[in-house]
Each structure stands twice: as C-alpha cells, then as structure tokens.
Amino acid sequence: MSLLPTELNYLEPVAKELAKLPPDDLNEDVDASKLLAALRNRVKGLELRDAISQLTKDSEVLQKWIKETKTSEGAVFFISAYFLRPGPLARDLLAPPPPPEPTVSVEMESDWETKEFPRRLDLFKQKIYCSIAVLDKQGFDIHKHKSDHRQELQKSPQNLWASLGVWTKTPVRFGECHGEKSIYVQPGKTNWKSVDYLLEVPGGYVNAHLGREKGKDFDEMEFEKKFHTLKVNPPPSSVS
C-alpha cells in the first residue's frame, strides 16, 4: 500500500524507509539525507521561481492527501514538515551542496547507543550520555582559552557564581589522545556533576561532554578506558 499519492511517487521509497522507524524517533535527529536528495533531484535544473512553484504544488497535493485519507502515518507528517516553507526549501535545494564534514569515532562497548552526525558523535547508555564534537585548531584554542579563563575567574572573590560549584582541571592522556579534563561539581541538594574533555586526538581535535540525567553522580572511568580509541576521520572526499 502506498503511503503517498501517485504525484509524489518520487518520495515513496523515502516514506517507506521512514515508516520503519518508531514514531518517537521521527524528530530532528533523523537522518534526512535521502529525503533531501529526492527533493533536490525534484527541482534539479529549475530556476528558483519554478522550483518554488513545484514544491508548492507538491505541498498542496500532500496536504490534500492527508486530509482525504486521514492518515496517521508519522513518516507522512515528517515529510510534510519539509514543505512548510517552499521558498527557503527551494533555495537550500538549489544551493551547492555543503562540502563533506569530518566525523569522530570511538570504540565503545556494544551496549552503548550511538548517533552519528557530521562533526559530532552522541553516545547513550541508560541515563548517561556523552557528546563528542570535532573542533578545528582555532576552535580548540578558543575552548582552551575559555577553560583557562574559567579557572582564573573561579578564584575571584567577586565571582558570585563560584559559590554554586567548583571546576577542577587536570591534564590527561589516553594513548595518543591528550589534553585536559575539567570536572564540575555542585554540592548540596542538587549534587550536580559533569565532565568536559578538550583533547588532541589522531586526525584532529575534539571536545567531549559527559554527564548523567539530572546531573547525578557517575563514574567516567568507563569512558576514559576507551578514549585511547578516539580519532577524527577525514571527509570521504579527502581520503587518499
């Protein structure tokens, strides 16, 4: 059974693939690259005005289909959201595609859930999470400057925020990966904890943020014993 009207057959394979996902997973974190590729092919070779017109017609067809069929299929509504603003969508689709981005990888145990993005990797296990972002050298230096400034500011008696929690910074090394580790602890009723890492790794630089739901205490050693496998992978087109 088709999920979309015949006029939108070019989106049917994408819709069927999206329909395999749990409804709660159809959010901004979904990889929409195949959907955007199909839409880009739809307006390929058109002038901006004609591309807007085509996408507007597709949007009207889809909205009519939703109303007439009374579908509750999440994939259909997910696709329809992309047609809400045909003008900006057409401009984005006709613009030159962005250059491929580097990715970051780490060899965690299989019970960790992972979500990969350009320049970022998110990891989850129960209520613990880690987000690792790729930095360029300038970004790395800026983060380091902010970290150093935060440490100095913490010593100032005029810093009203210092009484809420304490940052402790130490140098760290995990194999070829090295840099600094900053632990933030806010004692008292909230008992908040988070850990930041600013590391130079094979292939580049990363900033990793580690925490637990509601800031509760956790042991970061499970991550640290795998941090020696951290690396930044170059974009596919730059691999020799």
Global confidence as pTM = 0.66
Distance (Å, rounded) from C-alpha 24 to C-alpha 177? 36
207 is written with which tokens?
A: 């900033």
The answer to whether 72 and 88 have CB atoms below 8 angstroms apart is: no
Give the separation between CA 65 and CA 98, rounded to whole angstroms: 33
**Three-class secondary structure of residue 105 per DSSP:** strand
Instruction: State the pLDDT at residue 214.
Output: 81
CA 111/CA 126 separation, integer angstroms: 9
pLDDT in tens, the chain (240 residues): 788 999 999 999 999 999 988 877 788 778 888 999 999 999 999 999 999 999 999 999 999 999 999 998 999 999 999 999 999 999 999 998 778 889 999 999 888 899 888 899 999 988 899 999 999 999 999 999 988 888 777 776 665 555 567 888 999 999 999 999 999 888 766 678 899 999 999 999 999 999 998 888 899 998 899 999 999 999 876 444
Q: Which helix (H) or strand (E) holds 211?
A: strand 204-212
What CA–CA distance (Å, rounded) separates 89 from 52? 8
DSSP string for residues in 66-102:
HHHHT---HHHHHHHHHTS-HHHHHHHHHSPPPPPPP
Residue 67 confidence (pLDDT): 94
Per 3-state DSSP, the chain is made up of helix, strand and coil in percentages (nearest 5) of 40, 25, 30
pLDDT value for 40: 95
pLDDT value at residue 110: 86
Q: Hey, what are 186's tokens? A: 């806010």
Q: Which domains does the chain have, with CATH numbers?
A: 6-94 (no CATH), 103-238 (3.40.1000.10)
Q: What is the pLDDT of residue 60?
A: 96
Q: Other CB atoms closer than 10 Å to residue 83's CB: what's the count? A: 19
Task: Say how far apart CA 123 and CA 237 lie, in whole Å.
Answer: 26
CB 122 within 8 A of CB 129: yes
pLDDT of amino acid 132? 96
Rounded CA-CA distance 219/223 in Å is 9
